[in-house]
Chain A
Amino acid sequence: MIRSARSSARSTRGRPPWWVLALFLAPALLLYSLFIVYPLVSALQYSLFTWQGTRPLGFAGLDNFTRLFSGVYGDRLWRAFGHNMVFFAGTMLVQTTFGLAFAVLLRRARWGRRFLQTAYVLPHLVSPIVVGYLWSLMLSPQFGAVNAALRAVGLDALAQPWTGDPALALPTLILVNAWQWIGFPMLLFSAALAGIPPEYEEAARVDGATAWRAFRHVTLPLLTPAIGIVTVLTFVGNMNILDLVYAMQGSQGAPAGATDVLGLLFYRTAFNNPDPGAIGQASALAVVMFLFIFGVSILATGYLRRKEAGLR
């Protein structure tokens, strides 16, 4: 389909001269190369040098990289990485599962569907900074609405210092993040479900399958590509998370680093670091994060594409 459109629409016939093409392309290429590509390439270069303040002293080889993983800094890095992983797992468990459930259930809702969809998506449009401060206020132990509501219905025992307790802080963040994001997987699953004819499941039902079995064995396999896309997007989003954690727990990932994540560590290493070699160290961390996030996404996308091809 794409190929036929291409042969009819994109053609060498009537092609304008090269300088016209260049004129159309130049502004985008310039802007994008200068402000997006050049900095990323420079980060790789920076990471290979020893720095004294803003002055490169000489080629450092992989020294900046080995320093990332050693000593106290290494401990911090692994702790932050662990938190990102917990974040990813928790988000998949809560947000993706419920996003899928809501998309499936909404498909059958007879009325109020548009309203419900809008309600679920609305938090997604709000700035993560606003979400962070709003929930900080609501979860505040003394003046917060959440504990007040719990006490009002007699659940005093459940009123916790949600953001202050090191054991609760990370799960609380994951739930707040899921509250904000749940509309996104729901929308993606809804779009994917819209492409599956309802007759498939109906046919299974006529043959006597229960609603659950019809969903499990007919619709769910057809959703595999969408689940894959959501998983990859969730991974990338969770590895890069910063704003919400900054708003709720500050740049150090309070309490006592219990919510520190790679994004915060990178920010502190780059801009809040007394070490004269900060530029090299921060750039090395950027390169490692880039390779990890980009690499995993590419591998996962390739794997999913193969699997999808196998389904056909």
Chain B
Amino acid sequence: MTAAAPPAAPPAAARRRGRGRGRAPVVGDLAVRLLLWGYAVVALAPLVLMLISSLRPEAELRADPLGLPTRPAFDNYVRAWVEADFGTYFLNSALVTVGAVLLGTAVAVLAAYVLGRYSFFGAGVLLAYLIAGLMIPIRLGIVPVFYLFNSLDLLDSLWGLLLVYAASGVPFAVFILTAFFRQVPAELAEAARIDGTGEFRLFAQIMLPQVRPALATVMLFQGIQLWNDFFFPLVLLRDSEKYTLPVGLTAFFTEYGLNQSLLYAGLVITTLPLVVLFVLATRQIVDGLTAGIGR
């Protein structure tokens, strides 16, 4: 599958392609490499600058925005975490994200199992209904959500946010997991049924482990989106004690906007968990992002 020398290509042709055309391919190669590595610098430099700046005192940042830290000033982080409440925001974000991902995936995996394994009257319609949410900008329902929450006493509550978030993850999770449940060999379920395994044990002990890679993809993908979401907490939360990181950042920016070093520390605090997650689970995250392109 990889680009390892294709034996089919006749050697004469290969030689003509490689050298016969003279210098042009070499120059072209160099230009391509320059472009690719040059853009890598463009992609990474702002993030590196963010990290470096978060370790520099305010006075130095103002004198020279491009310099290196003379000595790492971790007190930016201490101040951002304690004084500017980033500790609270971080905890709120973590609670809502983890809770919503667990709840959303749990309800979706149950539905996906039944929709992927059994055919029954209305199964197709139900699947289409659940997946339709993928194409719909759910933000446009925010006004009714606001008044629904108002009447359910869920306004300005992390529980309310958690519930909308969990619901928003259902379409993607059902879409991916149904496809995976379909691919589990039927023999597996039949063997278990002959042994007299009940439906719930069959699901929990035999089927669920089969879709574990897909579960990881779904949960990571949802987690990143929810961690970064800004619009729902902007509308649904009022009390700054309950803010998640993205809204906390805007509140912070209005209050401490002139203090760049603190702001950089806040940006790093918001970003770091995702970068760590990405490095640890690149495969699953990339699978989630490219789920729309079928093989």
Contacts and interface: CB of A to CB of B under 8 A. Distances in A.
B62 A122 contact: no
A25 B245 CA distance: 33
Contact of A198 (B3, B140, B182): B3
B240 to A, nearest CB: 16
Given A16-B199, A192-B293, A126 B116 contact: no
Contact of B174 (A28, A118, A138, A145): A28
B189 interface: yes
A242 B234 CA distance: 12
Given A8-B186, A123-B43, A270-B143, A191 B66 contact: no
Interface stretch (B32-40, B69-77, B211-219): B32-40
Contacts of A138: 46, 49, 65
Interface in B25-83: 32-33, 35-37, 39-40, 42-44, 46-47, 49-50, 53, 61-62, 64-66
Interface string A99-117: 0001001101100100110
Contact of B190 (A14, A38, A119): A14
Where chain B touches its partner, the secondary structure class is: helix
Contacts of A126: 47, 228, 271, 274
B107 A28 contact: yes
Contacts of B293: 188, 191-192, 226, 229
Interface in B110-131: 110-111, 113-120, 126, 130
Contacts of A148: 64-66
A135 B168 CA distance: 29
B230 A129 contact: yes
Contact of A243 (B64, B106, B230, B270): B230
A286 B143 contact: yes
Given A31-B107, A198-B6, A25 B126 contact: yes
B289 A187 contact: yes
A12 B121 CA distance: 10
Where chain A touches its partner, the secondary structure class is: helix
Interface stretch (A70-78, A79-87, A166-174, A289-297): A289-297
Contacts of A130: 228, 246, 249, 267, 270-271
A16 B183 CA distance: 19
Interface string A280-291: 001100110110
A40 B249 contact: no
Given A12-B118, A126-B274, A206-B9, A102 B174 contact: no
A292 to B, nearest CB: 10
A188 B292 CA distance: 8
A152 B66 contact: yes
Given A9-B186, A36-B167, A127-B271, A137 B107 contact: no
B137 interface: yes
Of listed B118, B126, B139, B203, residue having the most chain A CB within 10 A: B118
B260 A240 contact: no
Nearest to B150: A54
B61 A143 contact: yes
B141 A39 contact: yes
A128 B114 CA distance: 36
A302 interface: no
A123 B104 CA distance: 26
A124 B282 CA distance: 13
B144 A109 contact: no
B206 interface: no
Contacts of B137: 236, 239-240, 289-290, 293
A287 B46 CA distance: 38
A120 B114 contact: no
Given A15-B120, A229-B292, A290-B137, A35 B36 contact: no
B9 A6 contact: no
A31 B166 contact: yes
Contact of B43 (A15, A179, A297): A179
Interface of B: 3, 6, 8-10, 13, 17, 32-33, 35-37, 39-40, 42-44, 46-47, 49-50, 53, 61-62, 64-66, 103-104, 106-108, 110-111, 113-120, 126, 130, 133, 135-148, 163-164, 166-168, 170-171, 174, 181-186, 189-190, 193, 199, 203, 224, 227-228, 230-231, 234-235, 245-246, 249-250, 253, 260, 263-264, 267, 270-271, 274-275, 278-279, 282, 285-286, 289-290, 292-293, 295
Given A31-B104, A137-B53, A242-B231, 4 more contacts: A9-B116, A12-B120, A138-B46, A202-B9
5 contacts: A16-B118, A35-B167, A43-B143, A129-B250, A290-B136
Lowest 10 A-B CB distances belong to which pairs?
A: A39-B141, A127-B228, A42-B144, A35-B167, A28-B111, A39-B144, A27-B107, A286-B140, A24-B114, A28-B107
